Structure 1
Amino acid sequence: MDSYDVFPNTPILSSGAVGKQFLELGITTFSDACRFVHELPYGYNSNRDDLMILFKEKMGTCTTKHAVIATLALELNLPIEKNIGIYAMTEQIVNGTDRILEQYNLPYVPMVHCFLAHGNHRVDLTEGNANGKKQAISEFLHTERVVPNVSAKDEYLKYRHALKENILKRSEMQDIDMKTILHAREKGLELLKANLDG
């Protein structure tokens, strides 16, 4: 992943809701907005579909952090888009994953992570945050552009579609069904949250 320094340092001259919020905080450029969001603590929000929850709770996940910055980019007409990627979660990335892999007889747990795309650059504003992962996510099994504030429901539907059309067709997933993956994903989400609290 790249640093947010690859983004243009555009002044925030916006009548949009997110731009106004940053200006109220005294943040006047796109780069400073990225720095502010990156430096906010990593934490699970009470309502990830609320675009302004990041400002209210002063923390966020890859979902809410990138929703805010991708919306600001849209308000400023910048060619920066939110993407979801599905990565192979293993013990190397998240402590405790081996137990899930053994329970469901899987080579890895396909999990969603969000990032921003700008030309050939990929930027993760949660990189370096205490986010329950031992390393940054740099390789994906599947990536897809989404609207900045994609709802939890729509993201889940995109995840299921990618499983069906891509992930489950991979040789290492032979004889593994959707239901098994979805159960393992739930355990994976619980593990990430537990690692965050720990």
Structure 2
Amino acid sequence: MFDFILISEKSISKKFQKLEINSFSEAMKFIKNLPYGRNSNRENFLLVLNEMKGTCSSKHALLKKLAIENQKAEVKLMLGIFRMNGKNTPKIKNTLNEFNLDYIPEAHNYLKIHNQIFDCTTSNSSELNFVNDLILEIEIQPSQVIDFKVEFHKNFLNDWIKSKSFSLEEIWIIREKCIADLSS
């Protein structure tokens, strides 16, 4: 597995080192085991470590910034759109059924290193949960998980709903209900 020792003297590396986490693989394992939850400020990725929780966006953006600090360009931050359905995300099955949807396109962040996907969203996250339902993926930078990700996702949904009987606002509300289902 890809790994490196945290040698940077910059803030994110120092924060991990204070937690006695000295390698990238240890950092990924630590982040993966933190609970899923939105942070109080989406723009401050260090809150993942301060609040001991994070989303796919904040957790993977933090890990990408850690890789940048340690000059490891092979660690890529990815934005994928996948078909989120009752099979790959069982907690949302009832919500999808309520609105008569087979799936809803969801934006997801993860890392890609030498073409291998790493999903550190939750302790049981795996690329197997979404890779077979992946519609598209692009590489992004950490700052893009804030506004760009939402706009990219909404633009994708706008095209997708043309064949559905929902407005973007209605689909976004259904999507938020699905995300709430994941936190319960």
Superposition TM-score, scaled by structure 2 size: 0.83
- Corresponding residue of 1:3: none
Equivalent residue runs for 1:17-166 within 5 Å: 17-78=11-72, 79-92=74-87, 93-97=89-93, 99-100=95-96, 103=99, 106-129=101-124, 136-139=129-132, 140-163=134-157
Moved more, 148-157 or 22-31: 148-157
Q: Which runs of 5+ in 1 are unaligned?
A: 1-5
Q: How has the CA–CA distance of structure 1 residues 181 and 138 changed in structure 2, closer, same or farther, with 3 Å as cutoff?
A: farther
Please state how far the C-alpha of 1:54 moved relative to its aligned partner.
0.4
Instruction: State the 1:174 CA deviation.
Output: 6.0
The letter for the 2-side match of 1:81 is K
Q: Distance in 2 between matches of 1:33 and 1:95?
A: 27
Conserved 8 A contact 1:109-1:185: no
Shift of the alpha carbon at 1:146?
0.9
Confirm or deny: 8 A CA contact 1:49 1:150 kept in the other structure.
no
Distance 1:90 1:141 in 2: 13
Q: For residues 163-182 of structure 1, what are the structure 2 equivalents within 5 Å?
A: 163=157, 168=160, 175-176=163-164, 180-182=167-169
Q: Decide whether the 8 Å contact of 1:90 with 1:98 is kept in 2.
A: no
Q: Percent identity?
A: 25
**C-alpha distance in structure 2 between counterparts of 1:151 and 1:120, whole Å:** 20
One-letter amino acid of the structure 1 residue matched with residue 50 of structure 2: K
Q: Which moved more, 1:65-74 or 1:41-50?
A: 41-50
2-structure distance, mates of 1:61, 1:99: 20
The residue type paired with residue 188 of structure 1 is R
CA contact (8 A) 2:78 2:109 kept: yes
Q: Runs ≥4 in structure 1, deviation > 4 angstroms? A: none
1:186 equivalent in structure 2 = 173
- Preserved CA contact (<8 Å) 1:51 1:149: no
Q: What displacement does 1:40 show? A: 1.4
Identify which of 5, 24, 27 aligns with 1:11. 5
- TM normalised by structure 1 equals 0.78
Unaligned runs of 5+ in 2: none
